[in-house]
Each structure stands twice: as structure tokens, then as C-alpha cells.
Amino acid sequence: MRHPSWVFFADGTVTMPAMHPVTHAQRRAALRVATAWLLGTFVRMPRATAATADTRAARGLVRLKISTKGDLLEFSTQQLSCHVGTRVRLQFTNASKYVNFDHNWMLLRPGSYDSVVAAAEKAGAAHDWIPAAHPGIIVATRLVHRGETVAVEFDAPPAGRYPYICSVPGHAASMWGVLTVTDR
């Protein structure tokens, strides 16, 4: 795989082919993020944290919020939960500040990770890396650009543990988590 070279300008800006010029400080910040991501991916396992959930008992609606962990290739949480039979409204935010990666959020059936990741790569960017009518996908958001937020609603599946990922090629290795669906 060929990597493009950085181009340095006299005014202190830096650019790569097909990218807008960035300042030296922005480049250093992006390199720090990339280094942290590499160390986090290869040295330690990502930390699990609690999800934000606001249960609306009267309507049977559970509101879940998740975002990217800044510019890292990680979700803000790896644990989400809801009850069987509830309507779930998931809000996903791409919280990137310096790195211009698009992300999506995709809920999978247990055991379908490998086939969905392979099918997503074949689907391509034109289809937001979402394979059409794949039996392993329960629900997915469109691609979300830096700073954007989208929401998706779905009925909670039967009790169990359901993986969720970002299906952009290369992202699913570190952008993943589990939605735990429990009986009431």
C-alpha cells in the first residue's frame, strides 16, 4: 500500500494529496490521535463505560446516545442496554474534531460480524458501507460526517447480546460494542 507524502509550505501549513492544507498544530494533534489509537489498539483492550439511557416508561421508548470518542477510532461506550419489546431511539454523533473520518453505527445479529464486515467492504462508499438486505444486520445509520448527529429507531430484538460496529473498512476492529437486551 502506497502512503502519500506530506507537503510542507513556507507559511507553516502542511497538506497531503487530495486534502486541504492544515496547520502544523493540527498535524501534530492528528499524529497524537493516531499514535494514541495505535497504542490503544495494540497495547490495551478498550475500556467499557456505561451508556446514557433515558427510559420513557409511558411510551415504552428508550433513548440511547453514543458518539465517537473524539478523533479516536472508538465509540464513546462499548456497552448499551435496553429491555425486550421496547422501542429504541439511538442517537449517534461523530465527535471528531481534527480527523475527517466518516462513521456509521450498525447493530448486528450474534455471529454475523465476519460476514457483515466482508459484505460492507463490497458494498462500498456509494452505499455508506452498508450491504443491502444482509440478514446479519438489524439496523444501521447512514454515514455520519464530522460534527453531525443522526438518529435511528428500531424495536429491541429478543433478549441477548448484539454486537454493534462501524462498518467503514478498517474501523470495525476498534469501533465495536455490545447492546445487551434483557427481559423486563
The answer for residues whose C-beta is within 8 angstroms of residue 118's C-beta and 6 or more apart is: none
Tell me, yes or no, whether 1 lies in a domain.
no
State how far the Cα of 42 lies from the Cα of 179, in Å rounded to an integer.
24
Greater pLDDT, 25 or 104: 104
- 171 and 114 in a single domain? The answer is yes
Considering the domain architecture, whether residues 69 and 117 belong to the same structural domain is answered as: yes
Question: What span, in angstroms and rounded, lies between the C-alpha atoms of 129 and 106?
Answer: 10
Structural domain contains residue 84 = yes
Domain of residue 81: give its range.
52-182
Closest by CA to 99, choosing from 1, 48, 6, 26, is 26
Calculate mean pLDDT across residues 12-30: 53
Residues 77 and 131 in one domain: yes
Kindly report the length of the chain.
Answer: 184
Distance of alpha carbon 112 from alpha carbon 32, whole angstroms: 33
Q: What is the pTM of this model?
A: 0.68
Q: Which pLDDT score is estimated for 112?
A: 95
- Round the average pLDDT of the chain to a whole number and report it: 79
* pLDDT tens for each residue of 43-71: 333 333 334 344 344 347 999 999 999 99
Listing DSSP states for 130-153 in one string gives --TT-TTEEEE---B-TT-EEEEE
- The count of structural domains within the chain is 2
pLDDT tens per residue, range 1-10: 444 555 545 5
Domain match, 32 and 115 both: no
Q: What is the mean pLDDT of residues 82-99?
A: 95
Are 116 and 99 in the same domain? yes
Say yes or no: 88 and 165 in one domain.
yes
CATH number for position 172: 2.60.40.420
Residue 79 has pLDDT above 60, yes or no: yes
Q: Is the pLDDT of residue 162 over 80?
A: yes
Weakest mean pLDDT among 14-23, 53-62, 91-100: 14-23
CA 54/CA 17 separation, integer angstroms: 44
Instruction: Give me the pLDDT at residue 184, please.
Output: 75
- Considering the domain architecture, whether residues 128 and 72 belong to the same structural domain is answered as yes
Q: Is the predicted pLDDT of residue 140 greater than 70, yes or no?
A: yes
One domain, residues 38 and 103 = no
Mean per-residue pLDDT for 88-110?
95
* Distance between CA atoms of residues 65 and 77, nearest Å: 9
- Per-residue pLDDT, 176: 96
If asked whether residues 90 and 24 sit together in one domain, one would say no
Whether residues 35 and 121 share a domain: the answer is: no
